[in-house]
Structure 1
Amino acid sequence: MKKTAVLMISEYYVPHWTGIVITFHEIAKNLIFQGYDMTVLTTKYDNKIPHKEVVDGVNIIRVPYFIRLSRTHYSIEIIFTFLKILSRFQTIVINSPNSNILFFTVIAKLFGKKVIIYHQGDLELPHQTGNQLNNRVMEIIFDVFTIPSFLLADKAVTYTRDYAVNSRVMKYSLDKFQSYIPFLKLPNAKPSQDFIRKTAHLRRYILIGLAGRFVEEKGYDVLLKAIPGIAKKIKNVRFVFAGATNMEYESFFEENHLLIKKNKDNLVFLGLLSRADLKHFYKMLDVFVISSRSDCFPTTQIEAALQGVPIVVTDIPGARMLVKTTGFGEIVEGENIKALEDGVVKIIKNKEKYNQNATHVSTFIKNNDTFKLY
């Protein structure tokens, strides 16, 4: 029996290992497990990667990009490739945000295709850095193109209903809502020698972890301001950051250089880590912090929580739901330095209490980890 062919569209895909890509790749693997034939259409953001390849059973087609715009590599050619191959597929799954989302959705529906949009967060551009007029205009354009796409789509999917209800673009399509949260497994591999070298001296400290892109929406500046207060209450503490700091499209790391310098004795930057090293990074930690101003559902908290690390997360739609549902951590008021400080200290001083709820994490995720086409 011929397998049903599904086309997934994403502006970035493997080996661009961001949380957005990791989740979308998990969807593809989930659908392969269900018996579907999977193809991903994406941009060739790096000339060194092949035009076509197969990764974990997923057929990947990459097309050249035309121009770099803020956070994306925009492609015109992807539109023509989409038109060329559309007839081969019955269902289209679009990764959102996507610059061409309305075009893909309208054309797919005109040709009678089922359209599912997986939304990984409203476009939130900086309010402290960059051209503010341009940032607000781009957010408006995003909304104008994405809202009708959801209205036309057959399914509107994201991590949690909490986020969908509060999303600028999803709240009009809640009748089509479906949740999907990937059960993220990190490799069982030995840490690299570089990781061992960088972290050997940290074993004697209480470690508070952060991971992701150092950008404004992640709220790392709030945590930087909370470090002195935490360090006064918890001796022998260090804050360990895994991820990229200098982003091409945002100068937030540079903007906070004084805060970073002020806290340099308590801060350790490990840079980007491999998936294998990430597992060992999480296992080192006593607490994992999500200080975001906006965050749909950071995959880092899934990874950390599944490794048994309690979470401190700001009280924002979507991101708060893992802790709210499982009790494995503390939810704190956003932009509140004292609340963040208190949340971290509370967990460190009562770890056994939170560890009792660790088993609820896998149950919560498993209740949402099947991507349903029908």
Structure 2
Amino acid sequence: MQAAETEYDVVVALNYYTPYVSGVTEAARVTAEGLVERGFRVLVVAGHHDPASPSRERINGVDVIRTRVVARIGKGIVSPSFVPTVIRWARRAKLLHLHLPMLEAGAIALGVRGVPIVATYQCDVTLPSGAFNAFQTWCLDRSHAVAMRRASVVAVTSEDYARSSRLARVMSGKTESLPAPAVDRSGGLPKFRDGEGLHVGFLGRIVEEKGLEYLVEGFRKLGPDARLLIGGDFAKIAGGSVVEKVRGAIGDDPRVTMLGFVADEELPDFYASLDVFALPSVNALEAFGLVQVEAMMVGVPVMASDLPGVRMPVRLTGFGRIVKPRDVEGIAAALTELETADLDAEQGALAARELYEAASVVDRHAALFTRLIERQVQPTRG
């Protein structure tokens, strides 16, 4: 890859990129690769969080530069060369795409002049109580506010979430709803099933904001034939996982299976094994839930928490049930209801595809980026 000789249409900046797996990195990856398929030249700059990955490579047409990480603070990484690297490449590009939360966003936005900026705001950061965490949150909010003020557009997964954000006033008037692009996971076989009973599934990082212990407690109120499949990494998680808390909730219940990381090629089989997908999130760190949309698109109804953004796929499609966060009895009732609910799987899948399928969502990104590039809109001065 001769990155130094290349001018890019879009430079994408985020702290973590593939091979790290999260909703944010997956959305960034699918969007970047989709833009390449549509003729854009795309560079991603991210932290070099995994020493096993190269510092520079090309992945499915996307050039990737990873900057050296010298320290980690909770879920964050410290990479002194990250900001100057992004600024250097963004100044030579036609558009800069920032994925927030990202502490460095404000500094990057201040360092880039004459280039349109799109700031995709995934969610507010919510940390445990304590003076240091409060300071971190304050710093993040201030940095994000600077980036939003200088951005031409603030892309949000839903206006529902944007209205609830701590930074709602800052982004007001410049938001555009662009949900995360969902990949088609159809065509799988039910290889994960164990019997004919209700099969409930979860997929995601095993972290605090997912509320998995409440899902487990609610599930355990179901009958003996029910099964709960929990897929997701808990070994390589920024900030650490809560796998022991989840295992404690499971106890010796043989109906619950911890699958660990589920590879991309196994995802169609995973979704094909489910009767219900559960997203029991408990706080604002979850603002959408890409996996719930992937489940809907293959005809699996969803039980989702009543949180801003998270509830919108169920609200807009009608394909599932919404429950209060941390409501164990509500979770049990919703799962029981969905087992016998008269839902049209074909119509539910169609509705989800029309709203969230990757091709149409990337088309919307491409149209926005093209419009901003052609207009050469100057960022709003903060």
Give me the TM-score of the superposition, normalised by structure 1.
0.88
1: CA distance, partners of 2:277 / 2:226: 13
Structure 2 unaligned blocks of 5 or more? 1-5, 372-382
Query: What does residue 265 of structure 2 align with?
Result: 276
Query: What does residue 335 of structure 1 align with?
Result: 326
Q: Match for 1:87: what amino acid? A: R
Q: Aligned-pair distance for 1:3?
A: 8.5
Q: For each residue in 1:193-214, what CA deviation from the matched residue of structure 2 results, as whole angstroms up to 9, or x when unmatched?
A: xx95xx36x1433210011112
Q: Aligned-pair distance for 1:4?
A: 6.2
2: CA distance, partners of 1:151 / 1:244: 35
Q: Which moved more, 1:249-258 or 1:133-142?
A: 249-258
Q: Aligned-pair distance for 1:258?
A: 2.9
Asked if the contact 2:275–2:300 (Cα under 8 Å) also holds between the matched residues in 1, the reply is yes
Which of 322, 330, 350 matches 2:341? Answer: 350
Q: For each residue in 1:138-159, what CA deviation from the matched residue of structure 2 results, as whole angstroms up to 9, or x when unmatched?
A: 2222112212221221110021
Q: How does 1:49-128 map to 2 (within 5 A)?
A: 49-108=53-112, 111-126=113-128
2: CA distance, partners of 1:353 / 1:304: 14
Runs of 4+ in 1 over 6 A off after TM superposition: 187-191
Q: How does 1:1-374 map to 2 (within 5 A)?
A: 5-108=9-112, 111-126=113-128, 132-186=130-184, 199=192, 202-229=194-221, 231-232=222-223, 235-246=224-235, 247=237, 249-250=239-240, 252-261=242-251, 264-294=253-283, 295-353=286-344, 356-365=347-356, 368-369=361-362, 370-371=364-365, 372-373=368-369, 374=371
Q: For each residue in 1:87-108, what CA deviation from the matched residue of structure 2 results, as whole angstroms up to 9, or x when unmatched?
A: 3212110111112111011111
Which structure has more relative contact order (CA 8 Å, sep 6+)? It is 2
Q: Aligned-pair distance for 1:34?
A: 3.6
2: CA distance, partners of 1:346 / 1:156: 38
Q: Aligned-pair distance for 1:71?
A: 1.0
**What is the number of equivalent residue pairs in this alignment?**
357
2: CA distance, partners of 1:90 / 1:173: 22
Asked if the contact 2:10–2:96 (Cα under 8 Å) also holds between the matched residues in 1, the reply is yes
Identical amino acids, percent of aligned pairs:
23
Q: Aligned-pair distance for 1:250?
A: 3.4
1: CA distance, partners of 2:345 / 2:319: 5
Give me the TM-score of the superposition, normalised by structure 2.
0.86
Asked if the contact 2:296–2:348 (Cα under 8 Å) also holds between the matched residues in 1, the reply is no
Asked if the contact 1:347–1:354 (Cα under 8 Å) also holds between the matched residues in 2, the reply is no
2: CA distance, partners of 1:83 / 1:3: 13
Q: For each residue in 1:205-263, what CA deviation from the matched residue of structure 2 results, as whole angstroms up to 9, or x when unmatched?
A: 3210011112111111211221232x14xx4101100002354623522234432215x
RMSD: 2.4
Asked if the contact 1:3–1:35 (Cα under 8 Å) also holds between the matched residues in 2, the reply is no
Q: Match for 2:39: what amino acid? A: G
Q: Match for 1:217: what amino acid? A: E
2: CA distance, partners of 1:206 / 1:3: 53
Q: Aligned-pair distance for 1:67?
A: 0.8
Structure 1 unaligned blocks of 5 or more? none
Q: Match for 1:121: what amino acid? A: C
